[in-house]
Amino acid sequence: MITLRKAHERGHSTYGGWLQSAHTFSFGDYFDTRYQGYGNLRVINDDTVAPGHGFGTHGHRDMEIISYVLNGELAHKDSMGNGEPGSAQSGIIRPGDVQRMSAGTGVMHSEFNNSATEPVHFLQIWILPKFRGIRPGYEQKHFPVSSRRGTLALVASPDGAQGSLSVNADAQLEAGLFDGNEHLTRPLNPGRLAYVHLARGKLSVNGHTLQAGDGALLENETQLVIENGHAAEVLVFDLAPQP
């Protein structure tokens, strides 16, 4: 069964004129009983932050948080020291970079547009953790265009397979770029859930056309077919059926 989640049907919010956000699942003041998450995927927020603005220091706990930048630069700082001068992790996230923060027992962090002139457009993803109360952690890696061109690159997994980020969740995240004749067919485990989010462009998923911001919830499906891409950037989630 495939259920389409159209971009214009998502929740939308603005804040102070500097933030434009679209919510695939219920978040903040947006609440929809039909979309409280999908399996252990809890949040996909599609955020655009104006130059010189961002989210001040705030806290999280027991959540796996992934940031995926589409355009611009996102500056991250946290109570673990990431983003501070001299840190091994600069905290600057650019297109092709994927960041994972395990909130665990609790972490404070901030996120700001790193540019004074250009907006930053990014996806913030929350996945429910497999183990609660772990020590907070942070990881950031770059996945070049060549690794995602016409295929799906594994960018997050429970064991850090294939050079992916290691996430404390029963979930995998892949990212791909598709255009023209590029296509992919692969089997799916019908005992798990799959979610496809089209970050930009146009794409066909199992015969269904997706536009930028659209999603597809796949349940009891045995195959994933991606084709007919037009400047498409897509994320594919493999998820546990129950949180």
Q: What is the pLDDT of residue 77?
A: 84
pLDDT digits (tens, 9 = 90+) for 201-228: 999 999 999 999 999 999 999 999 999 9
Task: Specify the DSSP class assigned to residue 17.
Answer: T
The Cα–Cα gap between 159 and 62 comes to 18
Check whether 126 has a pLDDT greater than 70: yes
**Domains of the chain listed by start with CATH number:** 2-239 (2.60.120.10)
Closest alpha carbon to 77 in 52, 103, 61, 56: 56
pLDDT of residue 86: 59
Residues 6+ apart with CB under 8 A from 214: 4, 5, 6, 7, 197, 198
Strand partners, 214: none
Overall average pLDDT of the 12-31 stretch: 93
pLDDT tens sequence across 33-82:
999 999 999 999 999 999 999 888 888 999 999 999 999 999 988 888 77
- Closest among 40, 61, 44, 66 to 169, alpha carbons compared: 40
Give the strand pairing for 165-166 and 152-157: parallel
What is the 3-state secondary structure of 59-84?
EECCCEEEEEEEECCEEEEECCCCCC
Residue type, 230: H
Whether 88 has a pLDDT exceeding 80, the answer reads no
Q: Is the pLDDT of residue 178 over 70?
A: yes
Q: Write down the pLDDT at residue 241.
A: 87
Place of tokens 């600069």: 90
Which tokens belong to 189?
């485990």
The per-residue pLDDT for 82 is 74
From residue 241, give the alpha-carbon distance in Å to each of 73, 156, 234: 34, 18, 21
**131-161 tens-digit pLDDT:** 999 999 999 999 999 999 999 999 999 999 9
Could you tell me which residues are beta bridge partners of residue 135?
none
Q: Is 212 helix (H, G, I), strand (E, B) or coil?
A: coil
Give the least confident one: 17-31, 85-99, 164-178, 199-213.
Answer: 85-99
